[in-house]
Structure 1
């Protein structure tokens, strides 16, 4: 009986150690994945040398429109304000689907919140 309990205790220890190791490994992976905020992505699009740019002055407000094509992806950015400091919309698309979207009128996401993007997007902006 004592040997049976000893065996169960040993297997439990091994299981806990393995689980702990896997959890620590996953946390380290998550901490080392690159993250970007909407503001950082917008700055990347606005300052990239291949970005096309246009602006309009409507109803006393300056609107700025940016479009950047990198390989098979299109980054589209709309901002407003005297310096284009307010992000209205940021879209990242490819030929078949929308990879990322941000609309200022939706309160789902703050422009300063760090995001994990897909590997496809990370490769393009790094």
Structure 2
């Protein structure tokens, strides 16, 4: 029965915060490890944000390329119908549709070049959260 109080007192000594230089060293090491963990977490978050921005840029470029290809396809069809009908009104619809695509392409490349990229970037960030 005398051994139980001795074990209990040793356990109390381990659980108590250390005083003096050993306690200072212990708290310094603990705070340094926590700081390293915080730095690593921050760097991982920054890397994730940078990668989603690059993916958003590539997605915007691919989307703009598709819009340009569709606009060119409609413009070619419109020109073909224009020459086929020679001043008829059938081609007017095709011309307007192709101009919408081409004007959309011009808007996102000349007037607001970052608008589409920022929109896709926000979507990707909200999807990752």
Q: Which TM class, normalised by the smaller chain length?
A: 0.3 to 0.5
Higher RCO structure, 1 or 2 (CA under 8 Å, sep 6+):
2
Higher strand share: 1
In the superposition, the TM-score normalised over structure 2's length comes to 0.42
Which protein is bigger by CA-based radius of gyration? Answer: 2
In the superposition, the TM-score normalised over structure 1's length comes to 0.43
Higher helix share: 2
